[in-house]
Structure formats: C-alpha cells, structure tokens
Amino acid sequence: MLETIPVDWIWGLIGGLMIGLGGAVYLLANGRIMGASGIIGGLVDRSGLDTWKERVVFLAGVFLLPIPLYPMYRAVDTHITSNIAVIVAAGLLVGIGTRIANGCTSGHGVCGISRLSLRGLVATVFYIMAGGFAVIIFRHMLGWV
C-alpha cells in the first residue's frame, strides 16, 4: 500500500500539468477561461449560446480523450456511490453552487489561483472546507458515502 502512494502523486502531477496546459491553450489561443461549470452552464441556461460551438467541441474533447487512455491507468473504476439519492442531491448542489459562485475547481481553482485572483482563492478555500465537512458528516458520522 505505502509504495503505491507516491506513484499516484506522480500521475497526479503529470495529469495536473496536462490540465494546466489545456487551460493555457484555451486562454492563449481562444482567449477564454477554462472553467468547466461556466462552459457547461452557459449552454444550459443559454447565456453562452453565441459561443456554443466552442463549448460543445471543448466538452467533446473532455468526454472523448480519456477513452484511448484506458490502458494507461491501473483501474478505471470511479468508486462512485450506489446511493442514487446521494448522487442526485450532490449533482443538484454542484450545479446550483458552481453557477451561483460563478466557477468550480477548474475556473476558480486552476484558472483563478494561477492569476492570483482573490475570488478564486476564497472560493477554493470555501468549497474545500465545505467538502471536508460533507465527508465528516456523511462518511464519519452517518456512514452514507
């Protein structure tokens, strides 16, 4: 167990560099901030329909590119909970929360912090703290997830 942990860190760093490179391409080539919730949300609430092609093509890349990489990764299992009520509640909270806060892990976290945005930093602190509380409550106290 112990010797597998640093490998995960290295894969995390490599994957992270790729995520940042994707954000750099989206910024320098297209002039856009790579925020997943903003790209999706602009399609859902029609506020970003004028750039729908760019958004859809971006999401197609996110959706498709993991497929050829399946053999690279040790386990494709995502370990998602089988509790449908928890999944629906979590999805609703993520959808509403990211749109009200105007960003998620990619927009506020990666793109915001890297430009030293106070909003990005504050949002990141709050969603990590809230996520920590959710795990304490629902894993350690209630044992749901």
Partner 1 sequence: MRLIYAFIAGGLFGAGLFISGMTDTSKVQGWLDVFGNWDPTLAFVMGGAIIPMAIAWRFVPGRKPLVGGAFPTPPEPRLGRNLVLGSVMFGFGWGLAGLCPGPSIASLTYGGVNHWIFVAAMLVGMLLAPKVRSLLDSMEKSSALDTQTPAE
Q: Are 43 and 56 in contact (CB under 8 A)?
A: yes
Q: Give the x/- contact pattern for partner 1 in 124-143, rule: CB under 8 A.
A: x-xxxxxxxxxxx-xxx---
Of 57-116, binders to partner 1 (CB under 8 A) are 57-67, 69-70, 72-73, 75-82, 84, 86-102, 104-106, 108-115
Minimum distance from residue 3 beta carbon to partner 1 (Å): 15
Q: Are 33 and 42 in contact (CB under 8 A)?
A: no
2 contributes a contact to partner 1 by CB under 8 A:
no
Q: Put residue 75 in one of left, alpha, beta given phi > 0 → left and psi -120 to 50 → alpha.
A: beta
Minimum distance from residue 110 beta carbon to partner 1 (Å): 4
Measured in whole angstroms, the distance separating CA 12 from the mean position of its chain's CA atoms is 14
Compute the distance between CA of residue 58 and CA of residue 40 in angstroms, rounded to an integer. 10
Q: Give the x/- contact pattern for partner 1 in 18-57, rule: CB under 8 A.
A: xxxxxxxxxxxxxxxxx-xx--xx--xx-------xxx-x
